[in-house]
Structure 1
Amino acid sequence: MQAVNEPMADVRDMYMAHTMFRREFRLLPQLVRDVVPGDTQRAEVVANHADTVCHILHVHHEGEDMALWPRLVERGGEETAAIVPTMEGQHHGIEGALAEVTALLPQWRATAQRGDDVAAAFDRLLEKLLEHMALEEKEILPLAEKYVTAREWAELGAHAIANSPKKELPLAFGMAMYEGEPDTIKAVLTHMPLVPRLVMPFLAPRLYASHAKKVYGTPTPPRVGS
C-alpha cells in the first residue's frame, strides 16, 4: 500500500460494537429460557428484542464483507492472505446460525412453546460470535489501522445507518453507548450530521434504558464482565 496523506482508521468504535454484541447475545439465551411456556405476551417482547439485535449484527457483518475484507486483501499481501478468508468463513457460519434463530423465532413468538430449541440456537450463535470477535480484535483491527483510511472505515457506519430502519437507529446507538468509553462515543458522533450529533447523546441512552427495562426488567442490564 502506498503512503497516504490522510488519517488511518480509528477502530475504537469496533470494540464498542463488540461489547454491545457480547452483552446482548450472552443475555439472550436465558431471556428465552425464562419465558413461561404459553406466555405469548412476554415472548413477543423478547422476540422483538432478538430481531433487533440480530438485524444489527447482520448489517454490521454485511458492511465488513463489502467495505473491509476486499481492501485488506488488496493491500495487505501476506499479512492478510490467510486471515481474511478465515473471517469470511466465520461470517458464513454466523449467518447460518442467524438464519437458524430467525427461522425459529416466529413460531415461538406466536406460541411461546419449545423455547429450549430457540435458546439452544442462540447458544450456538453465541459460541460462533464470541470466537469470531476475539479473533477479529486480535488479528484484523491492527491490520485495519495499518491499511484502511479513516474515510474508508467510516463507510462501515454509513452502511449500517443506510440499511437500518431509521426509527431503530437511536436505540441501536443507545445499546452501543451503554458501555462505550466517552472518548469513543464522542469520536463516533463527529461523523453524524449536526442534529443527530446534538440529540443522540441524550435521546439514545434514554431509549435504551426504557427498552432494557421492558426486556430485562431493569434499565441497567448486566455489563460485560460483571
Structure 2
Amino acid sequence: MTSTSTHGQLTLPGQAAAPDGPVDLTPMFLMHHAFRRDLTAFADAVHRTPAADRTTWQALDLRWRRFAEILHHHHSGEDDHIWPVLVGAVDTGGSPEDCATLEAMAAEHAEIDPMLVACARGFAMLAEREDEAARVALEADVTRTRDRLGAHLGHEERDALVLVQRFLSAEDWARMDKQIGSDYPARLIPFSLAWVMHGLPDHGRAAAVGFLGRPALMLWSLAFRRPFERKERAAFRYVAG
C-alpha cells in the first residue's frame, strides 16, 4: 500500500530521520528522544558519581529500573504488534532488503537485552556497596548500551519507519498504538508522562501536548512534573549541566 498523504513529522535532537507518510510518528520520536536523553545522562552519571555515594547510587539504581522497564515495553510492543504486521505486508509487496530491515529490528532488540541486564547488575551492586572496579565496569557497560541503542534507534528511524509509512495506514497505526498502550501497566503512567516530557525543546513539547491532549498536560504540570524532577536531581546530581 502506498499513500501520498503526509504529516509534518516531528524532529528532535539526535534523531536520524523523520520519514513522511500517512502515519503520525510523534509518539515514536518522543520515546526515542527520551531513550537517547536518558542514556547520555546515565553515562555521565556513572562517570562522575563517586563510588562511595550510596544514596545517589540507590537513586540511580531505581531510575535505571524505570528506564529499562519502559524500554522493555517499547520493544515488546514493536515485536508483538508492529513488526509482525509489517512482515506480512512486506512479504506481499516488499523487497528482500525490506525483509532484512525487519529481521534486523528483532535481532537488534535481542542484542540489546543482555546489555540492559549487565547495566542493571552494575547499578544494583553499587547501590549496595562501594566498589570502584564495579563503577568502572558499569561505565563501560552503559557507554556500550548507549552507543548500541543509539545505533538501533537510528536504523529504525532511517529504514524501518520508512516501511511503516509505505505499508501502513493511519488507521493501522492507531489500532497498533491502542494495542501497545493496553499492555502498559497503569502504575507506569505518572512516571511515563513526566519522563517523556522531560527536557523536550519547545516544539517537541508542543507536539507532545498535541498528541497527548490538554488533560494529560494538566496532570503532568500539576501532579507529576515536580516529583519527577526532584527525583531526577537526586539521581543525576553529578551530571554536568
The total of aligned residue pairs comes to 214
Q: 1:134 to 1:141 in 2, by over 3 A?
A: same
Percent sequence identity over aligned pairs: 20
1:189 aligns with 2:189: no
Q: Any conservation in 2 of the 1:9–1:149 contact (CA below 8 Å)?
A: yes
**Cα distance between partner residues in 2 of 1:133 and 1:90:** 10
Residue number in structure 1 paired with 2:184: 163
**Cα distance between partner residues in 2 of 1:147 and 1:171:** 33
Alignment of 1:139-158 (within 5 A): 139-154=159-174, 155-156=176-177
Residue number in structure 2 paired with 1:61: 75
Residue number in structure 1 paired with 2:231: 211
Q: How much does 1:42 deviate?
A: 1.5
Residue number in structure 2 paired with 1:92: 110
**Cα distance between partner residues in 2 of 1:209 and 1:46:** 13
1:70 aligns with 2:99: no
Q: Any conservation in 1 of the 2:122–2:135 contact (CA below 8 Å)?
A: no
**Cα distance between partner residues in 2 of 1:158 and 1:107:** 36
1:28 aligns with 2:48: no
Q: Any conservation in 1 of the 2:23–2:168 contact (CA below 8 Å)?
A: yes
SS at structure 1 position matched to 2:141 = helix
Residue number in structure 2 paired with 1:130: 150
Alignment of 1:42-53 (within 5 A): 42-53=56-67
Q: Any conservation in 2 of the 1:64–1:156 contact (CA below 8 Å)?
A: no
Give the superposed CA RMSD: 2.8
How high is the TM-score relative to the length of structure 1? 0.81
Q: How much does 1:124 deviate?
A: 1.2
Q: How much does 1:11 deviate?
A: 0.6
**Cα distance between partner residues in 2 of 1:156 and 1:31:** 33
SS at structure 2 position matched to 1:68 = helix
Residue number in structure 1 paired with 2:13: none
SS at structure 1 position matched to 2:49 = coil
SS at structure 2 position matched to 1:116 = helix
How high is the TM-score relative to the length of structure 2? 0.77
Alignment of 1:97-108 (within 5 A): 97-108=115-126
Which one is further off, 50-59 or 179-188?
Answer: 179-188
**Cα distance between partner residues in 2 of 1:108 and 1:12:** 36
Which one is further off, 24-33 or 155-164?
Answer: 155-164
- Unaligned residue ranges in structure 2 (runs of 5+): 4-20
- Of the three residues 60, 81, 104, the one matched with 2:99 is 81
Letter in 1 for 2:51: P
- Unaligned residue ranges in structure 1 (runs of 5+): none
Q: Any conservation in 2 of the 1:9–1:144 contact (CA below 8 Å)?
A: yes
